[in-house]
Structure 1
Amino acid sequence: MLRLLNIEIHKLKHNKASKVLIAIYFLLLTSIALVAAIKFDIGPIKFHLAEQGIFNFPYIWHFNTYMASNFKFFLLLVIVSMMANEYSNKTLKQNLIDGLSKKEFVLSKFYTVILLAALSTFFVFMVSLILGFVYSDFNEISIVTTDLEYLFAFFIKLVGFFSFGLFLGILVKRSAFAVGAMFIWFIAESFIKGMVFWKFKANADDIMRIFPLEAMTNLIKEPFTRLSAVKTVAKQVGENISKDFSVQILDVAIVLIWTAVFIYLSYALLKKRDL
Structure 2
Amino acid sequence: MLRLLNIEIHKLKYNRASKILIVIYFALLTSIALIAAIKFDIGPVKFHLAEQGIFNFPYIWHFNTFMASIFKFFLLLVIVSMMANEYSNKTLKQNLIDGLSKKEFILSKFYTVILLATISTIFVFITSLVLGFAYSDFTEFSIITSDLEYLVAFFVKLVAFFSFGLFLGILVKRSAFAVGAMLVWAMAEGFLKGMAYWKMEEHVDMLMRFLPLEAMSNLIKEPFTRLSAVKTVAKQVGEDLSKDFTVQPLDVLIVLVWTFIFIYFSYALLKKRDL
TM-score tier by shorter-chain length is over 0.9
Question: Please, what is the CA RMSD of the aligned residues?
Answer: 0.4
Cα deviation code 1:101-124 (max 9, x no counterpart): 000000000000000000000000
Deviation at 1:183, TM superposition (A): 0.3
1:232 maps onto 2:232 in alignment: yes
Structure-1 residue corresponding to 2:102: 102
**Which amino acid is the alignment partner of residue 193 of structure 1?**
K
Structure-1 residue corresponding to 2:192: 192
Cα deviation code 1:180-219 (max 9, x no counterpart): 0000000000000101111111111001000000000000
**Which amino acid is the alignment partner of residue 65 of structure 1?**
T
Structure-2 residue corresponding to 1:15: 15
Deviation at 1:240, TM superposition (A): 1.8
Matches within 5 A, 1:115-130: 115-130=115-130
1:140 maps onto 2:131 in alignment: no
Deviation at 1:48, TM superposition (A): 0.2
* 2-structure distance, mates of 1:274, 1:211: 31
Deviation at 1:47, TM superposition (A): 0.2
* 2-structure distance, mates of 1:239, 1:191: 27
Q: Tell me, what secondary structure is at the counterpart of 2:222?
A: coil
* 2-structure distance, mates of 1:176, 1:57: 40
Q: How many pairs does the alignment contain?
A: 275
Structure-1 residue corresponding to 2:59: 59
* 1-structure distance, mates of 2:68, 2:125: 11
Q: Tell me, what secondary structure is at the counterpart of 2:41?
A: strand
Structure-2 residue corresponding to 1:252: 252
Structure-2 residue corresponding to 1:264: 264
TM-score (norm 1): 1.00
**Which amino acid is the alignment partner of residue 114 of structure 2?**
I
**Which amino acid is the alignment partner of residue 103 of structure 2?**
K
Which stretches of structure 1, 4 residues or more, deviate above 2 A after TM superposition? none
**Which amino acid is the alignment partner of residue 161 of structure 1?**
F
* 2-structure distance, mates of 1:211, 1:259: 12
Matches within 5 A, 1:147-166: 147-166=147-166
* 1-structure distance, mates of 2:199, 2:17: 45
Structure-2 residue corresponding to 1:181: 181
* 2-structure distance, mates of 1:9, 1:242: 45
**Which amino acid is the alignment partner of residue 206 of structure 2?**
D
Structure-2 residue corresponding to 1:167: 167
Structure-1 residue corresponding to 2:45: 45
**Which amino acid is the alignment partner of residue 7 of structure 2?**
I
Structure-1 residue corresponding to 2:25: 25
* 1-structure distance, mates of 2:216, 2:101: 31
Cα deviation code 1:79-110 (max 9, x no counterpart): 00000000000000000000000000000000
* 2-structure distance, mates of 1:12, 1:67: 26
* 2-structure distance, mates of 1:248, 1:71: 23
**Which amino acid is the alignment partner of residue 148 of structure 1?**
L
Deviation at 1:241, TM superposition (A): 1.7
